[in-house]
Amino acid sequence: MKRLKAWRPPLARLNDFFTSVVLASQSVARKRLLEELGLHVTIEVTHCDESHQERDPAKAVRLLAKRKMEGYRAVHSRYEGAVLTCDTLVAYEDRLIGKPKDREEARAQLLMFSNKKQVVHSGWALWYDNTLFDGCDEATVIFKKLDEKAIEAYLDLGEWRGAAGSYRIQERGKELVQRVEGDIATVIGLPLLQISEILLATVPVSDGAEYPPLRG
């Protein structure tokens, strides 16, 4: 059995571009990932209509992340610092799985995932240097075979609340998972490697410089 690899900061880290960021999300896990990069993170929750008819999970999370950014910018239009919004959905067969409404729905989701694979899609939008960047990344998660006792024990922890797919891989939810194919940060809900790579590709680097200079 493969052990889950611990997440490590990408080579081009976000704090090579900015030293503080507003995270328009209530996710403690996303905040922790950003803080591990040395960033000062301010949480400012944004509210928007999350209903949609999009069936493509990659398009759906990208749409919702941008919609959240639009909601934040509508209220804080004069703010010039970096702002990050995110959204995560789980694709299982032909279904899009979000956050469970209650314990019963969480139980059904975990039973459905048992011994199966799912694809986690995390979309993001970043307002930086007066420019909107956005994108999405995906990672495949393969669950162990779970019996009802294991599922009930996990549900008792309460980690399913507010978690897409009813588990948190950065917490005890990792015990449900056999392996991850892709960036585990994407499963947590924030594709830091992809964001860093996109920023690095758009900012010129002077000869001999390892990273772009700090900005903002």
The C-alpha atoms of residue 54 and residue 176 are separated, in whole angstroms, by 29
Question: Of 87, 94, 147, 183, which residue is the catalytic one?
Answer: 87
Cα dihedral across residues 167, 169, 175, 178: positive or negative: positive
Q: Check if 87 is active-site.
A: yes
Contacts of 43 (CB under 8 A, 6+ apart): 22, 23, 25, 26, 31
Angle CA 107–105–114, to nearest 5? 40
Are 212 and 13 contacting, i.e. CB atoms less than 8 angstroms apart? Answer: no
Radius of gyration of the chain (CA): 18
Q: Which residues are catalytic?
A: 87
